[in-house]
């Protein structure tokens, strides 16, 4: 049911772990729904110098965390903010429809970590685009 | 898929631990079936010689099924499997007794073949009670009795749960129903071949079984219907199964079911002893090697081959993928394996927190499994759990809270 890319990122996750003294942290999801993603950022000169993740979740959740963190590493915060869940899913060679919310979770986790960084810096948090997807919006598990 | 020494066709080690999902058809069962595909293919409803041979073969299989559960052959009706048997028993009894009442009782941990049938009947004017179970997954016959009203027409409680393996007090539940004149059905799909199933000793009115759970072929099962129990038909058409279930018979499948159930009942005691010994060694080995594990289901009143445990801080599908990569076939009650975001209704019904239900693993043993397989799992599973815990923010939080204290 998973693409080779998904399996590769699940079996050999990139950027898995924790950053000591991170500049921004974002935790999304909830144990009730069976997936939690935590993103740690190290930021230098408005760029993501390092990024790590911890994930409790299924194969797609782990692969999405791995791919999403890989895609934003070295990027500016604005570029990282603009990474969409669809781009993560595409980079993974597609996700089964029921697993698309895992890629949404990755996007949300990155947004939360970036805004955590901005708040720590005394900056206004960026606003989600109206109508942005939510991982657990219209599904049975109520976050 | 597997050869006798537990390797796959690719030569990789393969340990199949999902016998509750399905079992391989036993070679002697396949052998019994083979002539009924191309040689003895006659339609049992026809009049000529080869048709009579088919009819005789079906009669023999019906007798084998009847003997295995202490019923008479006229009480055995062939179906396409457990799901059809459950659907027929519940819808058939509901509609046949509509004039008497509209209340049906079942348990919260039934297979979806029962639960979804009951939910459908709710849309058709029937009223349902879903009995809760205790922390081990057991239905309380006293609580069942209290739900019965003069409108109750049917009770359906499974003999053994497919996920957690818990055995239900079927004789007691059936006794309660008989005293109140309420029909009683049991889904015994997981029980046949593992625990004694005797329709007279249990006192049930209807019982579902499925051949592929006891080393028979897929796509064939049976519903036992006690003489005198009224049941509307589910499938309408030709006059097969004494006008109760239309459709040309799955001849080879039926022959296979007969051979498989006879074989399963003959071997049952030895099989159950061997499975229980392997299962107990598997669980004590897991509990010794891995922290934060809980056994799901009843510690003793459970299917001999069923082990279900919850590993805290990790998610089941990830575990299954890593086990699969190591050649171990297992299953989980995780939401991610069900296509929804909700974990197994059975694990929630026994009171597991959502996050623990997501981290459950079901290992179901069968004939091919050996002590070597148990050793292999005990060697393979701990690093998998460790690896996923290292990745898990829940585990990190837990570790932090330990350090703080």
Instruction: Look at residue A38 and give its three-state secondary structure.
Output: strand
* In the predicted structure, residue B6 carries a pLDDT above the cut 70: no
Order across the sheet with A47-56: list the strands. A24-30, A35-44, A47-56
What are the helix (H) ranges across B160-293?
Answer: 170-179, 199-202, 240-243, 251-289
Percent of chain B at pLDDT exceeding 90: 92
> Which residues make Cβ contacts (< 8 Å) with residue A95, sequence separation at least 6?
A2, A3, A6, A60, A64, A89, A102, A103
* In the predicted structure, residue B95 carries a pLDDT above the cut 60: yes
Considering only the beta carbons, identify the residue of B317, B355, B393 that sits closest to A59: B317
> Which residues make Cβ contacts (< 8 Å) with residue B351, sequence separation at least 6?
B135
Considering only the beta carbons, identify the residue of A54, A55, A58 that sits closest to B336: A58
Considering only the beta carbons, identify the residue of A11, A31, A55 that sits closest to B355: A31
Closest chain B residue to the Cα of A2, Cα to Cα: B321
Closest chain A residue to the Cα of B354, Cα to Cα: A32
Q: How confident is the model at residue B299 (pLDDT cuts 50, 70, 90)?
A: very high
Question: Which residue carries 């396949």 as its tokens?
Answer: B30
Name the region of B242 (left: φ>0; alpha: ψ -120 to 50; beta: rest). Answer: left
pTM for this prediction? 0.93
Cβ atoms of A37 and A57 within 8 Å: the answer is yes
Q: What is the pLDDT of residue B5?
A: 53
Please list the active-site residues of B.
Answer: 336
Instruction: Look at residue B127 and give its three-state secondary structure.
Output: strand
For CA atoms A49, A45, A117, A82, the dihedral sign is: negative
Contact flag A7-B342 (C-beta cutoff 8 Å):
no
Average pLDDT of the residues of chain A: 91
Contact flag A16-B391 (C-beta cutoff 8 Å):
yes
Burial class (CB in 10 A: 0-12, 13-18, 19+), B251: buried
Contact flag A31-B394 (C-beta cutoff 8 Å):
yes
Cβ atoms of B208 and B188 within 8 Å: the answer is yes
Q: How confident is the model at residue B10 (pLDDT cuts 50, 70, 90)?
A: low
Q: How confident is the model at residue B12 (pLDDT cuts 50, 70, 90)?
A: confident
Contact with chain A for residue B11, Cβ under 8 A = no
Q: What is the pLDDT of residue B343?
A: 85
pLDDT in tens, B99-145: 999 999 999 999 999 999 999 999 999 999 999 999 999 999 999 99
Contact residues, A window 15-34, toward B, CB-based 8 Å cutoff: 16, 18, 27, 31-34
Q: What is the pLDDT of residue A143?
A: 39
Nearest to B171 by CA among B153, B144, B194: B144
CA distance B215 to B271: 12
Contact with chain A for residue B393, Cβ under 8 A = yes
* In the predicted structure, residue B191 carries a pLDDT above the cut 80: yes
Considering only the beta carbons, identify the residue of A27, A34, A99 that sits closest to B343: A34
* In the predicted structure, residue B11 carries a pLDDT above the cut 90: no
Beta bridge partners of A76: A47
Best A4, A8, A30, A31 residue to mutate vs chain B (most B CBs within 10 Å): A31
CA distance B187 to B158: 4
Mean pLDDT of B183-189: 98
Considering only the beta carbons, identify the residue of B315, B342, B396 that sits closest to A141: B342
Contact flag B355-A10 (C-beta cutoff 8 Å):
no
> Which residues make Cβ contacts (< 8 Å) with residue B231, sequence separation at least 6?
B88, B89, B92, B93, B96, B206, B225, B244
CA distance B82 to B95: 20
Instruction: Look at residue A76 and give its three-state secondary structure.
Output: strand
What are the E-state strand segments in B330-372? 360-364
Burial class (CB in 10 A: 0-12, 13-18, 19+), A20: exposed
CA distance B60 to B41: 16
The complex scores an ipTM of 0.92
Contact flag B313-A56 (C-beta cutoff 8 Å):
yes
> Which residues make Cβ contacts (< 8 Å) with residue B171, sequence separation at least 6?
B201, B202, B203
Mean pLDDT of B332-342: 67
Best A7, A36, A58 residue to mutate vs chain B (most B CBs within 10 Å): A58
Mean pLDDT is lowest, of B4-18, B274-288, B307-321, for: B4-18
Distance in Å, alpha carbon of A30 to nearest chain B alpha carbon: 9
Distance in Å, alpha carbon of A109 to nearest chain B alpha carbon: 13
Instruction: Look at residue B109 and give its three-state secondary structure.
Output: coil
CA distance B184 to B170: 9
Q: Pairing relation of β-strands B127-131 and B103-107? A: parallel
Q: What is the pLDDT of residue B337?
A: 58
Cβ atoms of A49 and A42 within 8 Å: the answer is yes
Contact residues, A window 34-63, toward B, CB-based 8 Å cutoff: 34-38, 54-62
Question: Which residue carries 């004149």 as its tokens?
Answer: B181
Cβ atoms of B298 and B279 within 8 Å: the answer is no
* In the predicted structure, residue B226 carries a pLDDT above the cut 90: yes
Considering only the beta carbons, identify the residue of A11, A18, A139 that sits closest to B325: A11
B391: chain A residues, CB-CB within 8 Å: 13, 16, 54-56, 62
Tokens of B284: 């004590």
pLDDT in tens, B384-404: 999 999 999 999 999 999 886
Nearest to B78 by CA among B193, B227, B246: B246
Nearest to B168 by CA among B194, B146, B186, B152: B186
Beta bridge partners of A30: A35
* In the predicted structure, residue B9 carries a pLDDT above the cut 80: no
Cβ atoms of B218 and B82 within 8 Å: the answer is no
Q: How confident is the model at residue B264 (pLDDT cuts 50, 70, 90)?
A: very high
CA distance B311 to B391: 14
Contact with chain A for residue B343, Cβ under 8 A = yes
Contact flag A58-B318 (C-beta cutoff 8 Å):
yes
Please list the active-site residues of A.
Answer: 33, 102
DSSP string, B129-193: EEE---TTS---HHHHHHH--TTEEEEE--SB-TTT-BBP-HHHHHHHHHHTT-EEEEE-TTTTT
Contact with chain B for residue A11, Cβ under 8 A = yes
Average pLDDT of the residues of chain B: 95
Taking chain A (143 residues) in runs of 10, the rounded mean pLDDT of each run is: 95 97 96 90 97 96 97 98 96 94 95 98 90 55 43
Q: What is the pLDDT of residue B378?
A: 98
Contact with chain A for residue B125, Cβ under 8 A = no
State in Å, rounded, how far the first CA of chain A is from the last one.
26
Q: What is the pLDDT of residue B340?
A: 62
Cβ atoms of B315 and B388 within 8 Å: the answer is yes
- When computed from its CA atoms, the radius of gyration of chain A, rounded to whole angstroms, is 14
The three-state DSSP-derived secondary structure of B394-405 is: HHHHHHHHHHHC
Contact flag A56-B391 (C-beta cutoff 8 Å):
yes
Nearest to B321 by CA among A38, A6, A142: A6
Nearest to B162 by CA among B19, B342, B320: B19
């Amino acid at each position: 049911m998973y693409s080779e890319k998904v399996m590769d990122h699940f079996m050999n996750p990139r950027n898995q772990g924790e950053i000591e003294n991170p500049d921004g942290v974002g935790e999304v999801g909830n144990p009730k729904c069976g997936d939690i993603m935590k993103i740690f950022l190290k930021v230098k000169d408005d760029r993501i110098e390092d990024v790590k993740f911890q994930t409790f979740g299924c194969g797609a959740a782990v692969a999405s965390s791995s791919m999403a963190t890989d895609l934003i590493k070295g990027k500016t915060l604005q570029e990282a903010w603009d990474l969409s869940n669809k781009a993560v899913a595409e980079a993974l060679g597609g996700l089964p429809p029921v697993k698309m919310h895992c890629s949404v979770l990755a996007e949300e986790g990155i947004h939360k970590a970036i805004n955590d960084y901005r708040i720590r810096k005394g900056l206004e948090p960026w606003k989600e685009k109206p109508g942005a997807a939510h991982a657990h919006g219209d599904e049975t598990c109520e976050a | 898929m597997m050869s006798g020494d537990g390797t796959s066709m690719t030569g990789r080690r393969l340990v199949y631990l999902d016998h509750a999902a399905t079992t391989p058809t036993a070679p002697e069962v396949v052998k019994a079936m083979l002539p009924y595909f191309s040689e003895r293919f006659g339609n049992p409803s026809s009049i000529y010689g080869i048709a009579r041979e088919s009819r005789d073969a079906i009669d023999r299989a019906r007798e084998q099924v009847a003997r295995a559960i202490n019923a008479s052959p006229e009480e055995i009706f062939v179906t396409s499997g457990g799901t059809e048997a459950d659907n027929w028993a519940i819808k058939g009894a509901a509609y046949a007794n509509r004039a008497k009442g509209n209340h049906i009782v079942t348990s919260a941990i039934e297979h979806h073949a029962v639960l979804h049938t009951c939910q459908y009947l709710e849309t058709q004017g029937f009223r349902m009670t879903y009995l809760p179970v205790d922390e081990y997954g057991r239905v309380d016959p006293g609580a069942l009795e209290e739900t019965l009203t003069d409108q109750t027409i049917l009770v359906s409680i499974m003999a053994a749960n497919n996920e957690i393996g818990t055995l239900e007090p079927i004789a007691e539940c059936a006794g309660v129903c008989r005293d109140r004149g309420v029909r009683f059905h049991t889904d015994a799909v997981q029980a046949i071949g593992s625990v004694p199933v005797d329709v007279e000793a249990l006192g049930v009115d209807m019982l579902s079984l499925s051949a592929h759970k006891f080393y028979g072929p897929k796509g064939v099962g049976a519903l036992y219907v006690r003489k005198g129990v009224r049941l509307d038909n589910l499938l309408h058409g030709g006059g097969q199964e004494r006008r109760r279930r239309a459709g040309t018979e799955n001849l080879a499948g039926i022959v296979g079911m007969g051979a498989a159930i006879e074989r399963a009942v003959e071997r049952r005691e030895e099989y159950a002893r061997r499975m229980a010994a392997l299962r107990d060694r598997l669980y004590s080995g897991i509990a010794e090697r891995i922290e934060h594990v809980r056994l799901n289901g009843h510690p003793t009143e459970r299917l001999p081959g069923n082990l279900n445990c919850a590993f805290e801080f990790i998610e089941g599908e990830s575990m299954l993928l890593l086990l699969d990569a190591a050649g171990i076939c297992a299953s989980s009650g995780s939401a991610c394996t069900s296509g929804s975001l909700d974990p197994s209704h059975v694990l929630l019904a026994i009171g597991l927190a959502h996050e623990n239900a997501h981290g459950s693993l079901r290992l179901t043993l069968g004939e091919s499994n050996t002590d070597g397989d148990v050793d292999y799992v005990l060697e393979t599973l701990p690093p998998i759990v460790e690896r996923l815990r290292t990745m898990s923010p829940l585990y990190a939080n837990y570790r932090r809270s330990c350090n703080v204290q």
